Copies of this chain bind each other. A is one copy, B any other.
Amino acid sequence: MTVPGSKVTCAVLIIGDEILSGRTQDTNLAAIARYLAQYGIDVPEARVVGDVAAEIIAAVNYLRTTYDYLITTGGIGPTHDDITADCVAEAFGVALHEDQSILDLLSARWELTPARRRMARIPDGGFLVRNKVQGPPAFGIANVFVLAGVPSIMRGMLEDVGHRMRPGAVTHSKTLRVDGSGEGVIAAPLEAVAKAHPDLSLGSYPFFSQEGYGSNLVVRGRDLAEVESAYAELEAALRADGITGLTAVENA
C-alpha cells in the first residue's frame, strides 16, 4: 500500500574494476542521488564492487530486498567483462533472452557480431529502459534498474527511470555558509538546534581553501516550514555566540 509522503529509498550499486582501481572517478552516484531527490527518493546506501559475479549477485540481492529500489551502473556493454545482465538474472533466478527490438535496432546500424548480441540480452520478466544518447536501451526487472556505466549515457537512461518509481515526499534544504569560523565553535549552537528538531537533519560540511575556511551548515527535512524556522533559529544561535561571516546560500 502506498502511503502518500512516506519515505522511499533507492540503493545504488556501482559495478566496475576501474572504479575500485582509481583509474576512473565515479560521478554516477552523485548524479543519481541528485536526480532521485527531485522525486523525493532517498539514497541510504551505495556499494562499489568489481567485475566479479559472486560479488555482484550478492550485492544485488541484498540491496534489492533491503530498499525500495536499486539502480546499478556499469557492466552492460559487449565485452567479456560486462557480466551485469548475467548476474542480475542469476540474482532473480531467471534466464536471459534476446530482446527482438534490441536486435532490430543493433542490426539496423551494425553487423550483428556475437559481442553485439550480448547487449540484446535481458532477464526474463524484465523491461526496457530507454537510451536516448548512444547505443541500445538498458533494462530493469522488478524494482531493479540496470544502467550503463558511461556517465553521459547513464544520465540519459536515468530520465526513463524516475517516473517508474513511487514518489516520496521531497526533501527541502537551506544552507547557511559560515566564513572564518571552524566547526569547533559552530558545533554547540548547531547541536542545540538539531536536538530541538529531531525530524530534521542538520549537517556541517567544512571547507578549507586558499581564500579561507569555514563550513556550510545544511538544514534538511520534508516539512518546508520547519526547515525555514530551524534555519532562522540556527542563524540566531550563531549570532548569539558572536559568530559572524554568515551568508545564505541560494539553491544549495
Is residue A113 within 8 Å, beta carbon to beta carbon, of the partner chain? Answer: yes
B208 touches A153 (CB 8 A): yes
A45 to B22, CA, bound (A): 12
A208 to B30, CA, bound (A): 20
Chain A 158-200, CB-CB to B under 8 Å as 1, else 0, gives 0000000000000000000000001111111011001100000
Residues of chain B lying within 8 A (CB to CB) of residue A2:
none
Residues of chain B lying within 8 A (CB to CB) of residue A17:
201, 203
Spot the interface stretch: A73-81, A97-105, A232-240. Answer: A73-81
B44 touches A45 (CB 8 A): no
A48 touches B26 (CB 8 A): no
Chain A residues 1 to 58 lying within 8 A of chain B, measured CB to CB, are: 17-27, 29-34, 37, 42-52, 55
Is residue A134 within 8 Å, beta carbon to beta carbon, of the partner chain? Answer: yes
Q: How far is the CB of A31 from chain B (nearest CB, A)?
A: 7
Residues of chain B lying within 8 A (CB to CB) of residue A116:
184, 187
Q: How far is the CB of A48 from chain B (nearest CB, A)?
A: 4
Is residue A202 within 8 Å, beta carbon to beta carbon, of the partner chain? Answer: yes
A158 to B201, CA, bound (A): 30
- A interface residues, tally (CB under 8 Å): 67
- Tell me whether A204 and B77 are in contact in the complex, defined as CB-CB below 8 angstroms, given that A48-B45, A187-B113, A187-B115 are known contacts: yes
B183 touches A77 (CB 8 A): yes
Is residue A224 within 8 Å, beta carbon to beta carbon, of the partner chain? Answer: no
B204 touches A79 (CB 8 A): yes
A48 to B84, CA, bound (A): 20
Q: How far is the CB of A250 from chain B (nearest CB, A)?
A: 14
* A→B interface (CB under 8 Å): 17-27, 29-34, 37, 42-52, 55, 77-81, 110, 113-116, 118, 134, 150, 152-153, 182-188, 190-191, 194-195, 201-208, 218, 220, 252
The 9 closest A-B pairs by CB, nearest first: A115-B187, A22-B33, A22-B34, A80-B191, A46-B48, A22-B30, A116-B184, A79-B204, A79-B187
